[in-house]
Structure 1
């Protein structure tokens, strides 16, 4: 449920423009302490979901403290270092009956926790331009991506190798065995057995990049992902870009049976997942025309296969890198969706740091089992980052989603709602 980040795509495209080997990062290391950093992010988050049927409204307000330490690497052929973090979330509002479960887990009495905390660390080693890290970390790959869209970030425990030996080419390989969600202090509240990931991104030049990833989530799913991003510049402030994303997933039969099991009125089990194949394909194609301070986006997304696209099943709440992902991800069985959106950077009008995005997404053809599901979402987000002065880098973000669907879709996915999310963030560099 993340808004697709075009900045991530731009960074991938600009990662490199030749096949020449990079200068060694390790040879340029200054030392464990000399290259170290210690940062504190103060994050205040407010969520309010107003369900239009009048039942189950939720709201939650919390203050988060996110401390991250990253050491440098010791000098020598192989450098070693340590990364660590500490997380603390304090509930300011949202008691029993209103608490939003994705911000604060509930105790044994069903009441939301007053606070939650977690600490983690990872050891790392670097040789040339390759880093291997083991421990608690925040991976960000299309088939394994931590979620940071609420109060505190999701984290994973495992090993990740990242190699940048060739300019423009980044390779990743990893194995993770625990997933701690955003609302939990537990190290593994998802029950992840293991997930193996391999893949990478290559920038052919400053305008064209591709990505290919594969993940094997034990007893859950095997996923393949591919991306092509192309930017066609017309002038210094005008361009047309295309972004294509596709996932192919094969879900384990036992996982599908457990996920789709419902109960009949007499209490007997109705196993909807008892079919032989459980595959899914979801793809999206987006075109973005940028001119000066303005950007216009059109996107189309389709889902096919035996079921909808599942994520946040041990692979992280951010592992859905498709165009039409806002409150709804428009990822249900057989769904087709269209998006029209507009972005405005107020820097061109003398207000640097102010940015606005609005989008409308419509989806239909959903196989709900009872009929055709249809849904639509109207999304708005405004963000301002203070550019100078004592409050420099203070970020204010307000987003709103208005979600509506027909009766078949309401029973299948979500009731109608109006949602408000507000974030105030202030980063502090301590070291």
Structure 2
């Protein structure tokens, strides 16, 4: 999230003409086959959401009569990225195969978003999706058309379950000037994480534009805009600054903001929201302490995740379960990170954070309140045959008052065990 504002774009382009690289990425191409990579990414995920009020709570009975959701699955991704042919215009292809295998689920435990659902209410045993894209490169500009994973603040394919979302469209990314990245795309389909359908949400058309610029090694900014036909328009702004202090000490400031309104036929309903977050993180050696504040205003809550991808919430208080993005909500976060490499255990890390939100406008007219505590630990094997194999535990405790329970969710505990193993074949 380290990109740029439009008011500085003209100056950046003018100044950047003296920073053009002598050799572009295309001029250094070794060829279609020579630069090809082929990776296999494996992810096993156990996920349990325990609704603390059980099956009697109205927010949980329809989806999980047992009072909890518990599922386990395995995802296997085959990812092929070719190089580019040599010459002024390079041509290449990307291809992927995404497969999921159900290890454990059931009608009473289904609903965590890991699998598609069969006609009798059970999770699909297996799912497979294949896709690909053709790509062209001129100098340091790449145009891709087809199926792809996207990481824009206004269209971000989600990868929080077994398999990622996949967007279909045309996407242009240009890095001709050092430090400046320009992007533009038009997308016409989006598949969910739990479905092999090409267009789960029946997206008609979504256009996105963006610019990012690194003014210095420590300061960057960004401006992105998305227009999704008959759903919404969204603008995103980011500033990120790191202030070096003494040895192994630094202070980082990160600002993120969205302005979202409905568009056309407003198929997702009325949308009118402004939301921003500001975080300050102090790093000293192996430790990082972060404080963040987030504020939402307007006639509705922040809207995302249907036509623009489930990852389109680049906000500091978007955490494991809640995004703290309700109408008029104010939220505060305190977070602590620890990297154990300093203490002789490379690959081991810990994180904990607490977020509290209040002043929420609810349908009952009473003030809504929520709070969430997260704990996470991860270990990545550093060498040997199992190098890069990782083990991760995530746990969240989320609670709200009755007014917000009725609008959002029942109280719950969310536990996830994640094992990932990337293999670089080529």
Q: TM-score, normalised by structure 1?
A: 0.91
User: Residues 368-419 of structure 1, C-alpha deviation per residue, up to 9 Å, x if partnerless?
Assistant: 0211100000001111110011111001111000000000010011110001
Three-state SS of the structure 2 residue aligned to 1:215 is strand
Q: Distance in 2 between matches of 1:69 and 1:177?
A: 23
Q: Which residue in 2 is equivalent to 1:365?
A: 359
Deviations 1:355-379 (CA, angstroms, capped at 9, x unpaired): 1110000000000021110000000
* Aligned with residue 170 of structure 1, among 163, 172, 181: 181
Q: Secondary structure at the match of 2:255?
A: strand
Q: What is the CA distance between 1:429 and its match in structure 2?
A: 1.1
Which residues of 2 match residues 99-248 of structure 1 at below 5 A? 99-248=110-259
Aligned residue number for residue 300 of structure 2: 307
Q: Residue 201 of structure 1: CA displacement?
A: 1.0
Alignment equivalent of 1:329, drawn from 314, 323, 332:
323
Report if aligned partners of 2:48, 2:414 keep a CA contact under 8 Å in 1: yes
1:63-89: per-residue Cα shift (whole Å, max 9, x none)?
110110000000000000000000110
> Which sections of structure 2, spanning at least 5 residues, go unmatched?
4-11, 56-63
Structure 2: distance between partners of 1:9 and 1:151: 27
TM-score (norm. length: structure 2) = 0.92
* 1:402 match: 397
Gaps of 5+ in 1: 1-7, 11-15, 261-272
Residue 269 of structure 1 corresponds to none
Structure-1 residue corresponding to 2:419: 424
The whole-number CA distance in structure 2 between the counterparts of 1:109 and 1:405 is 33
Q: Which runs of 4+ in 1 moved over 6 A?
A: none
8 A Cα contact 1:94 1:100, kept in partner: no
Q: 1:270 maps to which residue?
A: none
- SS of the equivalent of 2:78 reads strand
Match of 1:293 in 2: 286
Contact 2:231-2:268 within 8 A present in 1 as well: no
Q: How far apart, in 1, do the equivalents of 2:25 and 2:143 lie?
A: 13
CA gap 1:51/1:173 in 2 versus in 1, 3 angstroms: same
Confirm or deny: 8 A CA contact 2:26 2:90 kept in the other structure. yes
2:36 equivalent to 1:25:
no
Partner of 2:60: none
Verify: 1:338 aligned to 2:309, yes or no. no
- How far does residue 252 in structure 1 lie from its aligned partner after superposition? 3.2
Contact 1:227 1:246 in 2 (8 A): yes
RMSD: 1.4
The equivalent of 2:408 in structure 1 is: 413
What secondary structure sits across from 2:120 in the alignment? coil
Distance in 1 (alpha carbons) for counterparts of 2:264 and 2:363:
19
Deviation of 1:251 after TM superposition, in Å, equals 1.3
Q: Distance in 1 between matches of 2:48 and 2:201?
A: 25
